[in-house]
Structure 1
Amino acid sequence: MVAEALWSIGELAERAGATVKTVRYYSDRGLLPEAGRSSGGHRRYGPEALDRLRLIRSLRVLDLPVPDVERVLERDEALEEVVAGQLRELGSQLAALRWREASLRLLQDCTGEERAARLRLIGAVSVPPDTAALARFWRRILPVRLPGRVVSMVLDAVVPELPEEPSPAQVLAFARLHALVSDPRLDRPGSRPAPPLPDGEYRLAVLYEGLAEAYTLASAELRDGRDLRDGGALHCFVAAYADARGTADSPAFRRGLLPLLARSDGPVITRYWKLATGLFAPGEPVLGALHHHLSVALHVQVEAQAG
């Protein structure tokens, strides 16, 4: 390349529409290739440096940090990794902004007496929030001998995925739910919700897998407007308990099952489902509601047979 085709740092900055300070910064970091030096030892740049500077500025316009820009310049395939990482980070930032907006609207649309209480609830939740406290709550309740794969299955069903664009009502419901499961009084003797099953009487994996099938059937039957007393969901529901207990389904077994089901619907669990229901996606089956519907259907059926 002839000397006339080389540019000083100021000329390169002018051609790129950048400041000399910016060009010097990238040059000092080794991101702009030098084509040579002047007789006085000053840097000289050619078209390759101009192309590189334009690429850097394009990446920086997308708010990519300089270290990520360096990774992209070192190897082309890094761009896909960097873009994916930035999209994940941006998604988290957008979720936080949406949650903040809904939280502010919640505070805006309430009376002065409500505002202080709501502010305390909201302040106890991170932004964007996570559901770790909800998962810990259920892990404390579930039987300790439950296999890990079944625990994961249960947690997927009982812990809602938080909405990407929450309404003020959903923000309030989650804040109240978070306060419920984080209440230190739950750790006191007699305050924690009772385990749903007597210890050692049921084969746990058999029960929970059978219940999952029953809930799926119940969801379909309710969606079709059918009475749960007349469908296969209730039979599957009772069979899950009978199979796990190693006994046969019978009228006597069904009568004996009612106190056990009532035990699983204590005040804390009932409030959990009342608050959590609105956080599940529209049309998504809510396990707590399905369990309640099946329990009621069994109770009505047993009472009818007894009468």
Structure 2
Amino acid sequence: MESDGMWSIGELAGQAGVTVKTVRFYSDRGLLPEAARSAGGHRRYGPEALDRLRLIRSLRTLDLPVPDVGRVLEREEALGEALEDVLAGQLRELGTRLAALRWREAALHLLRDCAPEERPERLHLLGSVTAPPSTAAPARFWRSWLPVRLPARLASAIVEKSIPQPPEDPTPAQVLAFARLHALLTGIPRPDADYCQPAAHRPELGYDLGVLYDGLTEAASLAAQALRARRSPHEGEALDCFVDAHARARGLRDTPAFRHRLGHQLAADPYIERYWQLHAELSGADPNLGAAHDWLRAALDTQATRTVGRLRCCP
């Protein structure tokens, strides 16, 4: 350092253990302001530049991009807060990149470990899915499938429960399930949402959809508890709630005759059944809405069978 307390660019570089090119790079981008210029126009730096340069290098060792480093330095008076914001963003970005790598790794295992004749189909399926995958396709399907008359709060809750969240560390089987789900929802010809809608969505039948789906949501929750406990479909609170939702939505009473008719009306749809099957393969053992609905339909069928049997036994 010369008598005026200033360093040349070379002296600052030597003090910091970096190259002159590095100092010039950060200076040119405004991260390392020069204190003055010599008579010959050369850059001059004060002692504070060394601390600033060391801080820049520390931030860069965290792989922070230069623009993010600049944002931290602009708020040097609140360095901790600024750094926390930038690091939070970097952690989110890194998490996304790691998730993408895990999905790609699982996809590679899926292709490597399958039979050669299966590879063309699986490669085609995987080629249409991003890594990590987007849930936009199932979200679009359910929002178009649900009737516009359904209250917004219920629609949002159903959509949220119906969309499988891709696991952060998927197995090859889960990657395949998601790829097949995506193909199901985006295949050509793409299925019309009206194709698999239940009769209750038809306006002319006059269902109160708010009452119906409020009740179905509660019934599904009760059925899910029975599924977790590995209880077979049976009469009880869950079934009563399920039937009551259908009856009240039509302004009717829950009677044996109504239950008998309802059992015939609730036919399974292969497309929706396939969706929930893939949803379960992707999401794991916790019962989804489809599994709960199947359990409730089976409970209704079981009750109907028993009722018929009792009637036959009566003189």
Q: State whether TM-score is above 0.5.
A: yes
> How much has 1:269 moved relative to structure 2?
0.8
Question: Where does residue 307 of structure 2 map in the other structure?
Answer: 305
- The letter for the 2-side match of 1:26 is Y
Equivalenced residues, count: 303
Ranges of 4+ aligned residues in structure 1 off by more than 6 Å = none
Question: Where does residue 312 of structure 2 map in the other structure?
Answer: none
Question: Where does residue 24 of structure 1 map in the other structure?
Answer: 24
The reply to whether residue 127 of structure 1 matches residue 127 of structure 2 is no
Question: Where does residue 193 of structure 1 map in the other structure?
Answer: 196
Superposed, which structure 2 residues align to 1:154-303 within 5 Å? 154-187=158-191, 192-200=195-203, 201-262=206-267, 265-282=268-285, 284-303=286-305
Query: SS at 2:189's partner residue?
Result: helix
Partner Cα separation in structure 2 for residue 188 and residue 74 of structure 1: 53
Aligned mate of 2:107, from 100, 103, 107:
103
CA contact (8 A) 1:242 1:249 kept: yes
> How much has 1:65 moved relative to structure 2?
1.4
Partner Cα separation in structure 1 for residue 105 and residue 232 of structure 2: 41
Question: Where does residue 55 of structure 2 map in the other structure?
Answer: 55
Q: Choose 249-258 or 7-16, whichever is displaced more.
A: 7-16
> How much has 1:170 moved relative to structure 2?
0.4
After superposition, the C-alpha distances for 1:97-156 in whole angstroms (9 at most, x for unaligned) are 111000000000011111111000000111211111111122232223212221111111
Partner Cα separation in structure 1 for residue 225 and residue 192 of structure 2: 40
Question: Where does residue 11 of structure 1 map in the other structure?
Answer: 11
Query: SS at 2:32's partner residue?
Result: coil
Partner Cα separation in structure 2 for residue 260 and residue 134 of structure 1: 26
Partner Cα separation in structure 2 for residue 151 and residue 256 of structure 1: 27
Partner Cα separation in structure 1 for residue 69 and residue 158 of structure 2: 43
Distance 1:196 1:141, change over 3 A: farther
> How much has 1:239 moved relative to structure 2?
1.1
TM-score (norm. length: structure 2): 0.90
Query: SS at 1:302's partner residue?
Result: helix
Question: Where does residue 98 of structure 2 map in the other structure?
Answer: 94
Query: SS at 2:234's partner residue?
Result: helix
Runs of at least 5 residues in structure 1 that lack an aligned partner in the other structure: none
C-alpha RMSD over aligned residues:
2.0
Q: Percent identity?
A: 60
After superposition, the C-alpha distances for 1:32-58 in whole angstroms (9 at most, x for unaligned) are 132333343322223211111111111
> How much has 1:299 moved relative to structure 2?
0.6
> How much has 1:165 moved relative to structure 2?
0.5
Query: SS at 1:44's partner residue?
Result: strand
Runs of at least 5 residues in structure 2 that lack an aligned partner in the other structure: 310-315
Partner Cα separation in structure 2 for residue 249 and residue 172 of structure 1: 43
CA contact (8 A) 1:142 1:195 kept: no
CA contact (8 A) 1:141 1:195 kept: no
> How much has 1:195 moved relative to structure 2?
3.4
CA contact (8 A) 1:197 1:260 kept: no
> How much has 1:3 moved relative to structure 2?
2.6
CA contact (8 A) 2:208 2:250 kept: yes
Question: Where does residue 145 of structure 1 map in the other structure?
Answer: 149
> How much has 1:30 moved relative to structure 2?
2.1
Distance 1:295 1:188, change over 3 A: closer
Q: Choose 151-160 or 139-148, whichever is displaced more.
A: 139-148
Distance 1:189 1:222, change over 3 A: closer
Q: Choose 135-144 or 180-189, whichever is displaced more.
A: 180-189
After superposition, the C-alpha distances for 1:227-258 in whole angstroms (9 at most, x for unaligned) are 44243111111111112111111101111111
CA contact (8 A) 1:142 1:196 kept: no
- The letter for the 1-side match of 2:14 is E
Question: Where does residue 313 of structure 2 map in the other structure?
Answer: none
Q: Choose 97-106 or 11-20, whichever is displaced more.
A: 11-20
CA contact (8 A) 1:218 1:294 kept: yes
> How much has 1:198 moved relative to structure 2?
4.7
Distance 1:280 1:196, change over 3 A: farther
- The letter for the 1-side match of 2:263 is L
